[in-house]
Chains A and B, each alone.
Chain A
């Protein structure tokens, strides 16, 4: 079917600004992805999946601009023993990164997977993204597969002793970066992946994660510190039998953030938890879009998303649990809540259930409202200032999402970051 003219024009304009990397062995996958982009067209305002988030600036052919942000805050995860992999404006920096050597894991740049004959990676690049295009189209992810210039392939075969930390630095006010990582967690292996940093003026990132039977991946991410950046991120995760995927994202800044999580539970008894805490102030638009597919028996999925918004900030949640025929004994849970600190902020949500199996327990809840006046008064009557009381209640509100982080040290780092933000902003 032909694309609407507006979409066709916008797509062509954006594609004209991009060059596909040579990329040897991933070339075929990239060509396929480009074909998908051409077929789908880039997201437009009228697309149902972009009902609450305007994709214009994410797809525009114009060079993005974002002022750099300076802060004297201590670095997130700064005290943590981790393997650092640094990207500056979307380009791998060997100089700033640690040696990519760690027991139980092999790490390579995507551009190296061809010369090193790394079969698993060649077979995965673009595959999960492509699977994730149905039933809902995600053209920005396909665009990423086609044009991403850098990224790493992480092969987890054991249980590395420290987390792998992906750090995204922003150096140019007009950087327009696309990164594509692929991660394969082998049977029984376990890894923690951290991500933080503003990355670029405009950032399009895609991670494909394949977790084999009995594998475990923990993911903790912090986005923020750059007021003007725009980001569209995708995580495509496929889970095998008895595997575990737990992901948490903190977002405290940026003009526009769209985080998509596409999770497919394909093996029995698998567990997937995704959580997000977001604190938005002013010209801030944050969109969590989650799509969980249950395609196996006795799996558990859990989505916990909390947003605190003020000064005209907008929070969006689109979450879906799809239970396919035969995916019996599914336990699916989803909660999305927002705390609106003033009247200019808004929360837009579309929590969905689509269920084709009967022996399931699925539920979702969504609430939106102002801070609890009774609780606020109670704290004040005990001598706590309005500001501190508001902070306390805000943190308490976000706690349910932060609690999803299993590792205490990581949770503490996130809470510290949140507290710092609250003390400055409220």
Chain B
């Protein structure tokens, strides 16, 4: 990206050329780390909850909050309504806290790592120089930014290992730090907002998260501020048998704007790993938040061994009038995904958008979608979901559109399309539509089909092999969603689409 920007300056090439080159250029990055970890004992109980709270040097009120959540959680049942099947999780057989023993530890030799995994990373690409930061390269943080700036908070297993550009953001009054730091440094904000969008008792996984979340990111954008750069959290599960429970809290005060990116990976393990995150977003009057995710947790192998169980609760509360939220997600990883980024459209004229690509291959299962809860007048929502299923995978869109009696003159448009590749996979659509006033208009459309043979033949006649042709056609199928992503992620996502479908044809 940076190089291209320079090209533009040097040669005075017209913008269209630059755009076009961007469009056709490909990106390749790769990294891996192997770091010694420090663990808390396996299992979860009030002592572990206290220990996590203690490690994060939290105030008493936070510890109490966690303990109350834990108490609740012990009385809750795991949900079973989603169209996913997995062996029963032993919640006492997980580590709930792990952190790199030493931040100075340098990456070790890559020789011992499965070459297949390395290849994945090579193709996967992690967009920016935070590779170095994540790998613990000293001084990486102080290096000059290249191209468009993206501030990164990196969460490695249970802890945040570094946040970039904090100083520059502070000049604009933007707070971007790990949630553990926010609890210590900005307790008034955390106290005011934490748990107000996703209540402690919201659901089984969210409640567990409330008890044991170890770290995550915190963002506060003051009134009227347009965040000068994209903010990003990079999550990585590295340690074995370790659950990752991060908590993200984003507050966009009146008239502010922020674009937030989230990326995730986890290494290949034989045993399944648990990831139960909570993301809460509060959007005040006239503010806007864009939240983009590229989720590429390890999906398990071809036989369904290992992989991440991804049980995530994400919710945005459009509290103020004319507030706006846009969720964009590209879900290609995880063995099991259970995730419904939702929008509470409370403010009048508030808007929620959800753009999703979910790709499942081999034995992957995804049950994902959104909830659009229209409470305010003149609220608008739009859902565009593209599900692609290959191998023996199961892919479900599950969504709710609810128009409350007071949400007069509101609109929803939903488009859910599923694509099947191969005759052993499944694609399912489970929308709930609840309309309780007549001035609102709700439109829902869904289609399921296979990759078009004529399109594939056309591509192959022009010289592409079958896999390449499928990747191209599928990328086209996903275009509406890919376009909603920030540039850095769109590139990565396009490649991910191709990688995720490898081995699905022929």
Alpha-carbon distance A132/B76, docked complex (angstroms): 32
User: Given known contacts A353-B428, A353-B448, A355-B448, is B433 in contact with A343 (CB within 8 Å)?
Assistant: no
Contact A351 B450 (CB under 8 A): no
A362 CA / B447 CA spacing, docked (Å): 6
State whether the Cβ of B441 lies closer than 8 Å to any Cβ in chain A: yes
Q: How far is the CA of A312 from the CA of B57 in the complex (A)?
A: 56
Known: A360-B449, A365-B445. A348 touches B435 (CB 8 A): yes
In the complex, what residues of A have CB within 8 A of residue B448's CB? 353, 355, 360-363
Which residues of the partner chain B approach A364 to less than 8 Å between Cβ atoms? 429, 444-446
B222 at the interface (CB under 8 A from A): no
Chain A residues with a Cβ under 8 A of chain B = 48, 51, 325-326, 328, 338, 340-343, 345-370
Query: B447 is contacted by which of A326, A342, A363, A370 (Cβ under 8 Å)?
Result: A363
Which residues on B sit within 8 Å (CB–CB) of A358?
420-423, 425, 450
What 0/1 readout, one digit per residue, does chain B (422-438) give for beta carbons within 8 Å of chain A?
A: 11111111111111111
Task: Enumerate chain A residues within 8 angstroms of B408, measured Cβ to Cβ.
Answer: 343
Q: Complex Cα distance A45/B113, Å?
A: 53
Query: Are A347 and B439 touching (Cβ within 8 A)?
Result: no
Name the residue of chain B whose CB is nearest to the CB of A356. B426
Residues of A contacting B442 with CB < 8 Å? Answer: 366-369
> CB of B61 within 8 A of chain A?
no
CA distance A341 to B438 in the complex (A): 7
B427–A340 touching, CB < 8 Å: no
Interface size on B, residues (CB 8 A): 36
User: Contact: A343 with B439, CB < 8 Å?
Assistant: yes
User: What 9 new A-B contacts, CB under 8 Å, besides A343-B437, A348-B434?
Assistant: A328-B423, A343-B408, A355-B448, A358-B425, A360-B448, A360-B449, A363-B445, A363-B448, A368-B435
CB distance B441 to A367 under 8 Å?
A: yes
Q: Which of B378-409 contact A (CB under 8 A)?
A: 405, 408
Closest A residue to B438 by beta carbon equals A340
A343 and B405 contacting across the interface, CB-CB below 8 Å: yes
B38 adjacent to chain A (CB < 8 Å) = no
Q: Is the CB of B438 within 8 A of A351?
A: no
A357: chain B residues within 8 A (beta carbon): 420, 423
Instruction: Return the contact of A349 from the options B418, B429, B433 (Cβ within 8 A).
Output: B433
Let me know if B160 is at the binding interface, CB within 8 A. Answer: no
Q: Is B81 on the interface with A (CB-CB < 8 A)?
A: yes
Give the nearest-CB partner of B396 in chain A. Answer: A354
Interchain CA distance A163-B437 in the complex, whole Å: 41
Measured CB to CB, the nearest residue on chain B to A360 is B448
Contact A350 B450 (CB under 8 A): no
Closest 4 CB pairs of A and B: A340-B438, A358-B420, A369-B441, A349-B433
Bound-state CA distance A369–B411 (Å) is: 9
Q: How far is the CA of A324 from the CA of B436 in the complex (A)?
A: 34
Query: Does B443 lie at the interface of the complex (its beta carbon under 8 Å from any beta carbon of A)?
Result: yes
If A48-B81, A358-B422 touch, does A351 touch B446 (CB 8 Å cutoff)?
A: yes
Q: CB within 8 A of B435: which of A328, A347, A363?
A: A347
Give the nearest-CB partner of B451 in chain A: A358
How far is B420's CA from A352's CA once the two chains are assembled, in angstroms? 16
Identify the closest chain B residue to A317 (Cβ). Answer: B433
Some 18 contacts from A to B, beta carbons below 8 A apart, are A48-B81, A343-B438, A350-B433, A351-B444, A353-B427, A358-B420, A358-B421, A359-B450, A362-B447, A363-B446, A364-B446, A366-B431, A366-B443, A367-B441, A367-B442, A368-B433, A368-B440, A369-B438
Separation of A75 and B290 alpha carbons in the complex (Å): 60
User: Which B residues touch A343, using CB under 8 A?
Assistant: 405, 408, 437-439
Query: When chains A and B are docked, how far (Å) is the Cα of A349 from the Cα of B333?
Result: 31
Once bound together, how far apart are the Cα atoms of A345 and B439, in whole Å?
11
Measured CB to CB, the nearest residue on chain B to A352 is B430
Whether the Cβ atoms of B420 and A355 lie closer than 8 Å is yes
Whether A370 pairs with B439 at a CB distance below 8 angstroms is: yes
Q: Give the interface centre of A326, A350, A355 by most chain B CB atoms within 10 Å.
A: A355
Give min CB distance, A367 to chain B, whole Å: 5
Provide the residues of chain A in CB contact with B436, threshold 8 Å: 346
The answer for the CA separation of A369 and B412 in the assembled complex, in Å, is 11
> Do A354 and B441 have beta carbons less than 8 Å apart?
no
Q: How far is the CB of A352 from chain B (nearest CB, A)?
A: 5
Instruction: Kindly list chain B residues whose C-beta atoms are within 8 Å of the C-beta of A347.
Output: 433-435
Nearest-Cβ distance from residue A347 to partner chain B, whole angstroms? 5
* Closest chain A residue, CB of each to CB of B403: A368
Cβ-neighbour of A353 out of B429, B433, B437 (below 8 A):
B429
Shortest beta-carbon distance from B352 to chain A in Å:
18
Q: Cβ of B83: which chain A residues have Cβ within 8 Å of it?
A: 354
A353 close to B418 (CB less than 8 A): yes
Given contacts A343-B405, A348-B435, A349-B433, contact A355 B444 (CB under 8 A): no
How far is A351 from B434 in the complex, measured between Cα atoms in Å?
Answer: 12
Complex contact B435–A340 (CB within 8 A): yes
Answer whether A354 and B426 are a contact pair too, CB < 8 Å, given A347-B433, A359-B450. Answer: yes
Question: Which residues of chain A have C-beta atoms less than 8 A from B429's C-beta?
Answer: 351-354, 364
- Minimum Cβ distance to chain B for residue A45 (Å): 16
Contact of A367 among B423, B428, B444 (CB under 8 A): B444
Closest to A371 in B: B438
> Which of A342, A351, A360 is close to B431, meaning CB atoms less than 8 Å apart?
A351
In the complex, chain A residues whose CB is within 8 Å of the CB of B422 = 358
Measured between beta carbons, the chain A residues less than 8 angstroms from B435 are 338, 340, 346-348, 368
State how many angstroms separate the Cβ of B383 from the closest Cβ of chain A.
13
Tell me which of A326, A342, A354, A361 contacts B423 (CB under 8 A).
A326
- B448's nearest neighbour on chain A, judged by CB, is A362
**In chain A, what residue has the closest Cβ to B405?**
A343
